[in-house]
Structure 1
Amino acid sequence: MGLARSLVAKDPIHLAETFLRTLMKAPGVAIDRDEFLKTELGKYYAPDVVRRMVASTPSVAGADPRIIDAIARKAINREVNRASAMSFVAGVPGGLAMLGTVPADITQYYAHVLRIEQKLAYLYGWRSFFNGPSDGPVDDETLGRLVLLLGVATGVANANKVVAESAAVVVEKGLQQALQANVATRNALESVVEGILRQIGMELSRRGLGDSAAKVVPLLSGVVSGGLTYATFKPCARRLQNHLRTLPQARGYVEPLLTVASYGASR
């Protein structure tokens, strides 16, 4: 059985996990939080201020929300402008063959969504998605967080709600109670993550791996022919920005507990 056919045969959640984990290994998809913040905030603040912002978060260290919004808009525009460049298809360690079975439009779309969601999260108070080197393995917790934000960006039902509720629990109850309360919200978080992964996997099977000539962008918010365009990518990025800027950590509170490490192929 060929690689493409064997991937189609997999459970859609497993297929989506494999695709996203492989894509995260592509050069340039994982964003180094500290370097990104240093570069962008350094255009507006003195080095000592930037160091404090990186060590904590921009909002905790007193960043002007208007500046953060401006940096976010510029980051979105840069990703939109770069999205048509074939910059993430080749050079995927151990995974080039798999991505070769997926249309370039799909690969490009997800590469840039993953990039922009990391950048926006870091600007609005989230810590690094990676506990170790960004080129290390993508663990379940990291993948779950990335998938949740992808769901927010692409308008998946309940993604906004579970992210916001998880953030509110920490602010309202404090960290210790939140750790206990998080057990009650974990099932909802994992259900949404599984749903998003299933949609991705089913669309990859039906449109990507099933028809190597298909061009489907974006997968979760509608079928658009002709490749990745300004009209499809930018609204997703702006949707995510608008949600992240309303969360407590964007105002200097602790990052929400998104414990979503058990789902799909990990079971």
Structure 2
Amino acid sequence: MNHQSQDKLYATTLQTIGAVSKLPVVRVDREEFLRRQFAGSPHLDVILLSGPQAVYTAESLRKRADSIIRSSAAKTSLASFATGLPGNPAVMVAAGGVDVAQYFGFAINLAQQIAYLFGEDELFDGGGQLSEAAQIRVIAYLGAMFGAAGAAALVSQTSKQVGSNLGKKVAAQALTKTAWYPLVKKVGALVGKQVTKKTVEKTITKAVPIVGGVVSGSLTYVTFRPMGNRLADTLMKNLNGELDGELELNAEFAAKFNEVIDGKDIHEIE
């Protein structure tokens, strides 16, 4: 992937995240979600304060994630089918765009549920907005869902569970000047590639009324469950310390990296 195409795909990802994060269906309230999931637990207070991982094993939380993923996949498929009903060629592209927005909206919704299940902090701020640090977390989650190379490392870097304080890191200096920005950009570009791919898929399935809706919904269900499972597996491994945690870049590499970051791809740094 050359530098120009990477920039374009990364921009597509940021644009998509920015757009779908405004959809009402996307945001998950952490406390409400945990109260619902652990309503019968005698340890609910601890769960709300410190996260489910403070009470339960990573493996048992992974089993709980399965039911959440199944439910979310079914809801997403039904929504995909509904947007597939219009068969008028004049609205085909528009319908495809709506379906893609819903697809990624539900993906971010599911990512929050899985992340909160494994002890991560609230993604949205009090005003319902995504900070720059939160956008990076979304990129990490979506990257893991799509199996993007480097996504697991990015999840580890942004995770509360390995003690990283992403908000302070981003606030301390511009994101483009942080040593791990190329990893963010690389994973973000791979997510952008998926956005483009899904847009084409969804637009094509809208060409045939009813049948297009069935195909679209089926494709969504088939792809959505593995996506959720990948993220759940990644977060479980992170809790168990199986992912690389806070890896330190050596000073020489980091300095060189920050000098050329605005004009080079990570693979061009020797």
TM range, smaller chain: 0.5 to 0.7
Amino acid paired to 2:64 = I
Partner of 1:140: 132
Q: Gaps spanning 5+ residues in structure 2: where?
A: 1-6, 84-92, 207-213, 248-260, 263-270
8 Å CA contact retained: 2:144, 2:230: yes
Q: 1:101 to 1:59 in 2, by over 3 A?
A: same
Supply the distance in 2 between the matched residues of 1:13 and 1:191 (Cα, whole angstroms). Answer: 6
Alignment of 1:239-258 (within 5 A): 239-248=230-239
2:155 paired residue among 163, 185, 202: 163
Supply the distance in 2 between the matched residues of 1:168 and 1:138 (Cα, whole angstroms). Answer: 17
Secondary structure at 1:157's aligned position in 2?
coil
Q: Measure how far apart 1:201 and its partner are.
A: 5.5
Q: Measure how far apart 1:32 and its partner are.
A: 0.6
Amino acid paired to 1:232 = T
Q: Measure how far apart 1:212 and its partner are.
A: 4.1
Q: 1:190 to 1:64 in 2, by over 3 A?
A: closer
Alignment of 1:1-267 (within 5 A): 11-43=8-40, 45-46=41-42, 49-60=43-54, 62-86=55-79, 100=94, 102-133=96-127, 136-164=128-156, 170=162, 185-200=179-194, 202-203=196-197, 207=200, 212-214=203-205, 226-227=215-216, 228-248=219-239
8 Å CA contact retained: 1:147, 1:196: no
* Structure with bigger gyration radius: 2
Query: What number of residue pairs does the alignment pair up?
Result: 215
Secondary structure at 1:240's aligned position in 2?
helix
Q: Measure how far apart 1:107 and its partner are.
A: 2.8
Supply the distance in 2 between the matched residues of 1:40 and 1:59 (Cα, whole angstroms). Answer: 13
- Deviations 1:201-258, CA, capped at 9 Å, x for gaps: 54477x27xx94456xxxxxxxxx921343211111111111101113x68xxx989x
8 Å CA contact retained: 2:51, 2:120: yes
8 Å CA contact retained: 1:72, 1:241: yes
Q: Gaps spanning 5+ residues in structure 1: where?
A: 1-9, 90-98, 216-224
Partner of 1:95: none
Q: CA RMSD in A?
A: 4.0
Supply the distance in 1 between the matched residues of 2:75 and 2:29 (Cα, whole angstroms). Answer: 18
TM-score in terms of structure 2 length: 0.64
Q: 1:119 to 1:160 in 2, by over 3 A?
A: same
8 Å CA contact retained: 2:20, 2:105: yes
- Deviations 1:138-195, CA, capped at 9 Å, x for gaps: 2322122111110101111111133335659946xx97xx969x98752343233442
Partner of 1:222: none
Q: 1:58 to 1:86 in 2, by over 3 A?
A: same
Supply the distance in 2 between the matched residues of 1:66 and 1:194 (Cα, whole angstroms). Answer: 29
8 Å CA contact retained: 2:110, 2:228: yes
Q: Which has the higher helix share?
A: 2
Q: Percent identity?
A: 21
Q: 1:86 to 1:142 in 2, by over 3 A?
A: same
8 Å CA contact retained: 1:12, 1:200: no
Supply the distance in 2 between the matched residues of 1:64 and 1:190 (Cα, whole angstroms). Answer: 29
Q: 1:17 to 1:214 in 2, by over 3 A?
A: farther
Supply the distance in 2 between the matched residues of 1:189 and 1:41 (Cα, whole angstroms). Answer: 35
Amino acid paired to 2:232 = Q
Supply the distance in 2 between the matched residues of 1:140 and 1:13 (Cα, whole angstroms). Answer: 14
Partner of 2:90: none
